[in-house]
Amino acid sequence: MLTKLINHYCRFLTLLSVISLAVMVVLVFGNVVMRYGFNSGITLSEELSRWLFVWMTFLGAIVALEERTHLGTDMLVAKLSVTGKKICLGLTHLLMLFVCWLLFKGSWDQALINLESASPVMEVPMAIFYASGAVCAVSCALILINHFWQLVSGQLSEEELIGIRESEDEPLDIPKPQQ
C-alpha cells in the first residue's frame, strides 16, 4: 500500500520536474533572445530559473532514491553473505535517515529565518526556496522507512539487498594489447 503511494508520488514529482525543466528552458532561451534581439530581458527569468533548478534537483533526488539510481559501489557488499548484505543495507538506511534529519533541521531553520525575507525580483518569501530541502528530507525519510520495513520484514530478494542498480549499458569489450 505504502509502496504504491510512493510510486504515484514519484510519478507526480517526475512530472513536476519535467514541467520545471520546460519552464526553465523557455525562460532562459526567451531571455537570451530578448537580450540579444531586442536589448531587453525578462527580469523574472534568472531568479525563477534558479528556484526551479533547486526544487527540480531536490525532487529528482527523491525519485532517484525510490528507484535506487543514485551512484554507488557494491565492490565490498557484493562479496558479503546474505546476512552481511542485510546488516549493511540496514545500517546505511539508518545513516541516511540521520542525514535526512540533518537536512530537514537545517532547511527548516533556514525557512523560518527567511520567512519574512522576500526574494529581490519575485518578492515572495525566501522560505519557499529553503523549503525544498525540508520537502526532500521528509520524502526521502518516508521512502527510507518503507525500504527499511521491506528489509526487516523479509520482502527484499537477495538482488535487492545491494542498494544500487547496475548500469543498463553493456561494458565495452576492449581488446588487450598483444605482447
Task: Say if 148 falls within a structural domain.
Answer: yes
Task: Say if 42 falls within a structural domain.
Answer: yes
Task: Say if 62 falls within a structural domain.
Answer: yes
Number of domains the chain is built from: 1
Task: Say if 155 falls within a structural domain.
Answer: yes
Task: Say if 170 falls within a structural domain.
Answer: no
More confident residue, 76 or 9: 9
Residue 66 to residue 7: CA distance in whole angstroms: 8
pLDDT at 174: 47
Q: Which domain holds residue 126?
A: 2-161
Cβ–Cβ < 8 Å for 110, 130: yes
The DSSP secondary structure of 70-88, one letter per residue, reads S----TTGGGS-HHHHHHH
Task: Say if 85 falls within a structural domain.
Answer: yes
pLDDT at 178: 54
pLDDT in tens, 84-97: 888 888 898 999 99
pLDDT in tens, 101-159: 999 999 999 999 998 898 888 888 999 999 999 999 999 999 999 999 988 888 887 77
pLDDT at 69: 81
